[in-house]
Amino acid sequence: MEHHHHHHHHHELSVPADSSVKRVYILSIVLNLGFVIAEGIIGIWSGSLGLLSDAGHNLGDVVSLLLALLALGLSVSAARKGYTYGFRKSSVLLSLTNAVLLLVAVGAIIIESIRKFYDPAEVDGAIISWTAGAGILVNGLTAMLLMRTRGHDINAKGAFLHMLADTLVSVGVVVSGLIISFTGWYVIDPIIGLTVAAVILFNTWDLLKESVRMSIDAVPEGIDCAEIESVIREAEGVKDMHHLHIWPISTTETALTAHIVVEDLALAGQTVHLLKDLLAAHGISHSTLELETDAGGCHDHSCC
C-alpha cells in the first residue's frame, strides 16, 4: 500500500482586520466600565438590589469583553518552541473561564434576591428607572458595536449576546422602577434580580456547553461530521476515506486529519488541492491528508 502525506493551511478571515476588532472591544470596555461604576454608586446610595445586581452583571460583561480581547490576540499567536500551534487553544480556555465566572455571578444574585424577599428594602423607583434607562443606551450601543464581530468566534458571540440581553434586562428594570414609583411594591426589586439571573443563565448555557466541547477537542458546533465525510467521499478521484478526525485549534480555527483512498496517486496533487478547497468552504482551515491506494479500513472506534 502506498501513501503520501499532504498538509495545508487555509486561514479563516470572517471579520474585519484584528486592529478594527480590537478598537471595538476597547471602546466597548471603556463605555461599560464607566457605566458599571456609575450604576454601582447609585445602587449603593439608593439601596437597590436590582441596580447592584445589574451592575455586577455589567462588570461581568466588562470581564467578558476583556477576555474576548485577550482571546483575539491569543487565537492568532505564532508557533514557538514547544507550542507548535502557539497559544491558540487558550482562547477556548478563556471562553470556558468566562462562562464559569458568569455562573458564579448568577449564584450570588439568586442568593441575595432570595434574602431580599424576606427582608425587602425601600428603593427609589425613579432613580432605578433613570439609571436603567442609561443602561439601555450604553448596552444597546455596545451591542451595535459588537454586531459585526459576533461571527468571529464564541468569545465574540458571547460578548454580543450578553450585551443584547443586558439591553433587554435594562428595559425590565425601567419597568420595575416605574411600578415601584406608582405602586410602592418594593418586592418587584428582588424579582428583577432573579430575572437578571435567569437571563444570564439562559445566555451563558450555550457558551458553557460549547466551551466544554471545544476544550475536550469535540467537533466544533457548526461543523457537521457526516457532511464533511460525504464531501470527501464524493470528491473527484476519491475512492474511500477512513480515520477522519476533526477538532478545534482555537475558537476560530478547525483542524482535520484523514486517510484518503485515491484512484491514482499520480493525481495526488490535484486531488489534495480539490479537497483543500472543499474543506475550507466548510470551515476547515487546517487539513492533514494521508493519501493511499488501498483502503486499510478503520480498525478502531476512534474515528469521527
Summarize pLDDT for 26-77 with one digit per residue, the tens. 888 998 899 888 878 887 887 777 677 767 767 877 887 888 888 877 777 7
How sure is the predictor about 9, in pLDDT bands with cuts at 50, 70 and 90? Answer: very low
Q: How far apart are CA 169 and CA 58, in angstroms?
A: 11
Q: Residue holding cell 488501498?
A: 294
Q: Could you give the strand order of the β-sheet that contains 254-262, starting from the edge strand earlier in sequence?
A: 3-9, 286-292, 254-262, 238-248
Span 253-275, average pLDDT? 86
How sure is the predictor about 256, in pLDDT bands with cuts at 50, 70 and 90? Answer: very high
Instruction: Say if residue 125's pLDDT is above 80.
Output: no
Q: How far apart are CA 36 and CA 56, in angstroms?
A: 8
More confident residue, 126 or 178: 178
Instruction: Say if residue 4's pLDDT is above 60.
Output: no
More confident residue, 145 or 152: 145
Report, in angstroms and rounded to the nearest whole number, the Rg of the chain calculated over CA atoms.
25
Percent of the chain with pLDDT strictly greater than 90? 5
User: Do 194 and 110 touch, CB atoms closer than 8 A?
Assistant: yes
CA distances from 141 to 23, 160, 183 (A): 14, 11, 31
**What nine digits make up the cell of 268?**
495526488
Q: Which domains does the chain have, with CATH numbers?
A: 18-215 (1.20.1510.10), 220-292 (3.30.70.1350)
Span 288-304, average pLDDT? 64
Q: Residue holding cell 455562573?
A: 103
Q: Residue holding cell 503520501?
A: 4
Query: What pLDDT does residue 105 have?
Result: 75
How sure is the predictor about 126, in pLDDT bands with cuts at 50, 70 and 90? Answer: low
Instruction: Say if residue 174's pLDDT is above 60.
Output: yes
Query: What pLDDT does residue 246 have?
Result: 92
More confident residue, 81 or 254: 254
Instruction: Say if residue 93's pLDDT is above 80.
Output: yes
Which amino acid is located at 191 in the chain?
Answer: I
* pTM across the whole model: 0.69
Q: How many residues does the chain have?
A: 304
Query: Angle 90-118/188-215 helices, nearest 10 degrees?
Result: 160
Contacts of 266 (CB under 8 A, 6+ apart): none
Query: What pLDDT does residue 245 have?
Result: 92
Contacts of 290 (CB under 8 A, 6+ apart): 3, 4, 5, 6, 243, 257, 258, 259, 260
Strands (E), 153-284: 238-248, 254-262
Measured between alpha carbons, how far apart are the two ends of the chain, in Å? Answer: 23
How sure is the predictor about 122, in pLDDT bands with cuts at 50, 70 and 90? Answer: low
Percent of the chain with pLDDT strictly greater than 70? 83
Instruction: Say if residue 12's pLDDT is above 60.
Output: no
User: Do 251 and 214 touch, CB atoms closer than 8 A?
Assistant: yes
Q: Which of 45-49, 80-84, 251-255 comes out lowest in average pLDDT?
A: 45-49
Instruction: Say if residue 176's pLDDT is above 50.
Output: yes
Contacts of 92 (CB under 8 A, 6+ apart): 211, 214, 215, 248, 250, 251
Span 172-180, average pLDDT? 74
Average pLDDT across the chain, whole number: 78
